[in-house]
């Protein structure tokens, strides 16, 4: 017996649907997706982009007519203080080199035109009892927030050199 074309087409479509039903999951299916993120030990400084690269600003001893008395200064944010942000729990160390003198224990400011020297140093506390050097420096453990490390500068009483602008550049190294 031969079926009319329309009936045969519907019958063929129905058979095809019945054959495909085992492949259709009407109940749904679930699976898992694994995700990972790795936080690397890292620190970032708050140094601003300056004309000579990254810098923490200038620790300014001011203008003086005489060096007969010691001059003490304390850094501030973007004016000599060193800002650090590290991942929580990360240990880090900040060291300062000797600047132009090459010796952290005998730093000197050098006159721009005279070449004369003014002796100074940088310390880890206001008591000026520990020189901030290039070996021990300052160490800390981060909590994930920005922390500013204050630099204490001292020009001891000394003979007053020629009138000039005296400068030095000290390199800051942050190790973690």
pLDDT in tens, 2-40: 655 555 555 555 555 555 555 555 678 888 888 878 777
Instruction: Give the global pTM.
Output: 0.77
Using an 8 Å Cβ cutoff, are 75 and 165 in contact?
no
pLDDT at 173: 93
Which tokens in the block code for residue 79?
């004016």
| Alpha-carbon span 172 to 137, nearest angstrom | 10
Domain boundaries, the chain: 43-175
Does the domain at 43-175 match CATH 2.60.40.1090? Answer given as yes
């Amino acid at each position: 017996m031969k079926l009319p074309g329309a009936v045969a087409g519907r019958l063929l479509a129905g058979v095809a649907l019945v054959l495909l039903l085992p492949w259709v999951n009407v109940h749904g299916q679930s699976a898992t997706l694994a995700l990972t993120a790795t936080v690397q030990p890292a620190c970032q400084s708050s140094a601003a982009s300056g004309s000579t690269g990254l810098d923490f600003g200038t620790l300014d001893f001011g203008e003086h007519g005489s060096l007969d008395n010691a001059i003490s200064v304390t850094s501030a944010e973007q004016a000599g203080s060193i800002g650090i942000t590290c991942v929580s729990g990360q240990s880090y160390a900040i060291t300062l080199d000797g600047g132009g003198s090459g010796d952290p224990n005998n730093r000197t400011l050098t006159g721009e035109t005279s070449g004369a020297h003014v002796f100074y140093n940088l310390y880890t506390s206001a008591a000026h009892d520990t020189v901030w050097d290039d070996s021990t420096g300052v160490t800390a453990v981060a909590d994930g927030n920005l922390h500013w490390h204050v630099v204490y500068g001292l020009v001891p009483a000394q003979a007053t050199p020629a009138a000039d602008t005296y400068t030095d550049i000290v390199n800051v190294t942050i190790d973690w």
